[in-house]
Amino acid sequence: MIKYQIGSRNPATHYFDVSIHIDNPDPGGQCLRLPNWIPGSYMIRDFSRNMVDLSARCAGAEVAIEQIDKSNWRVPGCDQPLTINYLVYAKDLSVRSAHLDHSHGYYNGSSVFLEVVGQADQACEVSIERPAAEYCRDWRLATSLARKQAQAYDFGLYQAKDYDDLIDHPVEMGEFKKISFVACGVPHDVILSGRFECDEARLARDLKKICEHHIGFFGEPAPMDYYQFQVLVVGDGYGGLEHRSSTSLMCGRDSLPKPGQTGINDDYRNFLGLCSHEYFHTWNVKRIKPDVYQPYDLQKEVYTDLLWAFEGITSYYDDLALVRCGLIEEQDYLELLAQTMTRVRRGLGRTRQSAAESSFNTWTRFYQQDENAANAIVSYYAKGCLIAACIDLKLRALSGSERSLDDVMRRLWQDYCAQAKGVEKEGIQQLVNDIAGSDLGDFMRELIYGTGELPLAELLDCVGVSVTTRVAGNQQDKGGKDIEDELSVVDFGAFLKEGEAGLAIQRVSESGSAQSAGLSAGDVIIAIDGIKLNQGQLEKRLLLAQPDDCWTVHAFRRDELYQFEVVLQKAVASTIVLKATGSHQRQRQAWLQN
Ligand SMILES: [Zn+2]
């Protein structure tokens, strides 16, 4: 049994105090290590850089610790119990690491708990102590970690089956609000931290529908006996991370339904989509996972081609579940799908990187995007979602709506999870063939490893949905709906942000008007044809412009002023709108209704 303890002498310093008591350290020398990444967020984050004051004591005496590398240490052999102490600086307000101040505390075990190498399969207990400051007097504690000797929602002694379990239950502490509901017999809590207004009954009602949908989708019983949504509400922020019995979410204040608010606005719809996404992960990636994640090597990058399936299929079902459980209308769902199609279609990266390559390179590409990302890479979330749609619609078309991606997911759940088996590189393709009853190898290979356009128009036609394209209305236009206003026939080819100094170029489209003239990301446009323009004025000018018109653009690159002659190119119709047609209503219903 490894005994961990975590508290804080002074939350204002942002330090968590951690100690580890090891009864039987390795007599040949005890190694300790901290993860360098957290499952679900595929980037090396080097959590050890937040550790200070690492020390070890054996039989009351201090012992020297040898550092092996950035995240590994070794304590010389001792035949008595060993105690390790250190502090962790916690000031990352995200769902991936740890944060502590006078208002609340939050941590992922992967950021704060050293692994006792060689004893990771041992049961652990963790004493989570109320921080010493007076303002923490009324704090409560929320986690899906099993209680050992603690009151519900209170500090005290918790336990984990092993190290992997210990670090997969994030902990929130503070004065939060708790909403509870039961879905398919499983108790669920929503923990809301931060400053917000919320129609709590409505949130519980809507989330319950989503949870019941997902549990029903994979089949009862649910794989967890308790589930917790931990939501940190902030002014501006968005993100989520999945865990085996909980999820940590961050959302903006406007994402929650206000008391008295009826209908569903875009912010709340996105928030429900996020909740749906992370909850679907309870099956897809937390339990059905690539074989290379069994077990996770948290010291270094672990490469897989399959994130298009684990993130993409999850992204497909997150919104699809909303329409299937009646939270949004059919046309709302088609709008969301059209926005994803638009996102993929607008980036040249889709012609250069396949979904498999995007998955494989996530560590240095998707998670470390620069201003050229849209030209160079494709998102395995967005393209993966569209691949999932293609597979789903293909199976439906081949089987007269008798079979679908739903069957593939259920088979994945039964075949792989029941046997505690990881999904191999070709595993999903084989299952799709099985469900189709024919060889879809070429179709699947092109979707996953190809860079051509996806066959969505013809597949959507089989469920009575038409695909039309138009040019973008303005920078904010995400696609998905028709626009009444007049549309520009030219495209400036740059995404701009208005600032005091002028219009700062955030990114340019490869070979577009701006780049062809020599403009680049980082340049600040101060005048066009000798006149200073704001974003709105530029949009008006674009409406009047024709292809091949030439503009003289003055822009600063760093502190140097340059002049560029921009020849305006014809706008490309890459914004997508989907609409239900009068045909194939039965097939569309089978697809969108439960
Ligand atoms: Zn995800």
Compute, in angstroms, the gap from residue 504 CA to the centroid of ligand 1: 32
Q: What is the pLDDT of residues 507-537, one digit of tens each?
A: 999 999 999 999 999 999 999 999 999 999 9
Compute, in angstroms, the gap from residue 562 CA to the centroid of ligand 1: 43
- The 3-state DSSP class for residue 497 equals strand
Q: What is the pLDDT of residues 123-182, one digit of tens each?
A: 999 999 999 999 999 999 999 999 999 999 999 999 999 999 999 999 999 999 999 999
- Per-residue tokens: 553: 């653009």
- Per-residue tokens: 360: 């494989």
Q: Give residue 176's pLDDT.
A: 98
The pLDDT of residue 594 is above 80 = no
Compute, in angstroms, the gap from residue 250 CA to the centroid of ligand 1: 14
The pLDDT of residue 309 is above 90 = yes
Compute, in angstroms, the gap from residue 284 CA to the centroid of ligand 1: 9
Share of the chain above pLDDT 70, in %: 100
Compute, in angstroms, the gap from residue 276 CA to the centroid of ligand 1: 10
Compute, in angstroms, the gap from residue 115 CA to the centroid of ligand 1: 26
Compute, in angstroms, the gap from residue 283 CA to the centroid of ligand 1: 11
Compute, in angstroms, the gap from residue 149 CA to the centroid of ligand 1: 33
The pLDDT of residue 100 is above 90 = yes
Beta bridge partners of 469: 576
Q: Cα 328 from chain centroid? A: 22
**Which residue, 396, 237, 240, 392, is CA-closest to 316?**
392
Q: Give residue 78's pLDDT.
A: 87
Instruction: Answer yes or no: pTM beyond 0.85.
Output: yes
Q: Give residue 419's pLDDT.
A: 82
Compute, in angstroms, the gap from residue 152 CA to the centroid of ligand 1: 29
First to last CA, the chain: 47
Is the preceding peptide bond at 295 cis, omega within 30 degrees of 0? yes
Compute, in angstroms, the gap from residue 312 CA to the centroid of ligand 1: 8
Compute, in angstroms, the gap from residue 38 CA to the centroid of ligand 1: 13
- Average predicted confidence (pLDDT) for the chain: 97
Residues within 5 Å of ion ligand 1, judged at the Cβ atom: 311
Query: Residue 485 — very low, low, confident or very high, per pLDDT cuts 50/70/90?
Result: confident
Compute, in angstroms, the gap from residue 309 CA to the centroid of ligand 1: 10
The pLDDT of residue 433 is above 80 = yes
Compute, in angstroms, the gap from residue 277 CA to the centroid of ligand 1: 6
Which of the 8 DSSP states describes residue 356? H
Compute, in angstroms, the gap from residue 40 CA to the centroid of ligand 1: 7
Burial class (CB in 10 A: 0-12, 13-18, 19+), 364: exposed
Compute, in angstroms, the gap from residue 492 CA to the centroid of ligand 1: 34
Query: Residue 265 — very low, low, confident or very high, per pLDDT cuts 50/70/90?
Result: very high
Compute, in angstroms, the gap from residue 315 CA to the centroid of ligand 1: 7
